[in-house]
Structure 1
Amino acid sequence: MSTKNLSNEEARQKIKELAESIDLTMMATNLKSEPFHVIPMSTKEVDAAGNIWFLSNKNSEHNQNIEKENKTQLIYADKGNFEFMSIYGRASISTDRNRIKELYGSGDDAWFDGVDDPNITAIKIQPDEAHYWDTKHGKVLSLLKMAKGAITGDEPDLGEQGNLKV
């Protein structure tokens, strides 16, 4: 796997590409404690600045953790396509009703009492450090390339990995 570190606009585009295609992430908060708190979250948007947005209940444990300490870790994994990304950053909570309405979708009705639910907040993660692993060809072709490499002794081109500096 080759290394390709990305910065600025390329890094923002890679974060957007992977976060929105993988969608579900494990969000870890309360990182200074053992065990830290982890919850699955659905990515709502990656904005032009590379910030990642989620919707959340204002009374949730992760919102409470973010209010105490804003350091957050996101782990994205799509094992079917062998795409992975880890993001460490700072979280902030917004109650801006316009922003919440922009992020809200009909699927969110399963978690909230409509877009006007007073308990909805938006969480913004501003990445400080990020790393990705992205195969170019998906799982099946990558496995075939690994097998070929094992037989021939050649190192297969399985894709790329690198740091993302926004």
Structure 2
Amino acid sequence: MSKENLFNREAIDKLKELAEGIQIAILETSLKSLPPHTVPMSTKEVDDEGCIWFLSSEKSVHNQNIDTDNSVQLIYSNPKEMKFLTIFGQAIVYKGRVILERYYEKADNAWFDGVSDPDLTAIKVIPKEAHYWDTENGKFINLLKMGISAVTGNSQDLGTQGDLKISIEEH
């Protein structure tokens, strides 16, 4: 697997491709506790600055944890396509109507009583460190490449991995 660190716009584009493509992240909060609190979250958007947005309940354990310590970890995993992403960052909880309307969709009615639900919040994760693994050809092709490598003794390129360096100004 080759290493390719990406910076700024390329890093944001890769982050967006992976996070929105995989869509479900495991959000870890209370990182100083063992075990940390984990919960699956549906990615709403990776914005132009590389920040990741989710909707959440104000009463949730993870929102309460963010209020205490806003350090979070996001883990995205698509083993079928051999695409993975991990992000360490800072989370901010928003209650503003404009933000909530921007991200609320009909499917969110399963969790909330509409965009006016007083329990509805948005979470913005500002990435501080990110790392990705991406095999452009998918699992099947990589298994073939591994088999070829085992038979021939020649190494095969199984994809790329690297750090995503994003400079985000906090607002």
Q: Which residue number in structure 1 is paired with residue 96 of structure 2? A: 96
Q: Which residue number in structure 2 is paired with residue 19 of structure 1? A: 19
Q: Which residue number in structure 2 is paired with residue 137 of structure 1? A: 137
Give the C-alpha shift of residue 136 in structure 1: 1.1
Give the C-alpha shift of residue 69 in structure 1: 0.2
What amino acid sits opposite 1:95 in the alignment? K
Moved beyond 4 Å, runs of 4+? none
Give the C-alpha shift of residue 107 in structure 1: 1.1
Counting aligned pairs with the same residue, the percent is 53
After superposition, what is the alpha-carbon deviation per residue over 1:102-127, rounded to whole angstroms, capped at 9, x for unaligned? 11111111111112111100000000
Give the C-alpha shift of residue 34 in structure 1: 1.2
Give the C-alpha shift of residue 35 in structure 1: 1.3
**Which stretches in structure 2 are left out of the alignment for 5+ residues?**
167-171
Q: Which residue number in structure 1 is paired with residue 111 of structure 2? A: 111
Q: State the alpha-carbon separation in 1 of the partners of residues 89 and 155 from structure 2.
A: 34
Report the TM-score, using the length of structure 1 for normalisation: 0.99
Report the TM-score, using the length of structure 2 for normalisation: 0.96
2:5 is aligned with 1:5:
yes
2:151 is aligned with 1:151:
yes
Q: Which residue number in structure 2 is paired with residue 75 of structure 1? A: 75
Q: State the alpha-carbon separation in 2 of the partners of residues 3 and 77 from structure 1.
A: 19
Q: Which residue number in structure 1 is paired with residue 61 of structure 2? A: 61
DSSP-derived class of the 1:142 partner: helix
Give the C-alpha shift of residue 95 in structure 1: 0.4
Query: Greater shift after overlay, 40-49 or 102-111?
Result: 102-111
2:140 is aligned with 1:123:
no
Q: State the alpha-carbon separation in 2 of the partners of residues 145 and 94 from structure 1.
A: 46
Query: Greater shift after overlay, 110-119 or 83-92?
Result: 110-119
Q: Which residue number in structure 2 is paired with residue 165 of structure 1? A: 165
Q: Which residue number in structure 2 is paired with residue 84 of structure 1? A: 84
Q: Which residue number in structure 2 is paired with residue 48 of structure 1? A: 48
What amino acid sits opposite 1:145 in the alignment? K
Query: Greater shift after overlay, 73-82 or 112-121?
Result: 112-121
After superposition, what is the alpha-carbon deviation per residue over 1:122-148, rounded to whole angstroms, capped at 9, x for unaligned? 000000000000001011111111111
Q: State the alpha-carbon separation in 1 of the partners of residues 157 and 106 from structure 2.
A: 41
Number of equivalenced pairs: 166
Q: State the alpha-carbon separation in 2 of the partners of residues 83 and 95 from structure 1.
A: 32
DSSP-derived class of the 1:15 partner: helix
**Which stretches in structure 1 are left out of the alignment for 5+ residues?**
none
Q: State the alpha-carbon separation in 2 of the partners of residues 147 and 109 from structure 1.
A: 47
Alignment RMSD: 0.6
Q: State the alpha-carbon separation in 1 of the partners of residues 112 and 15 from structure 2.
A: 27
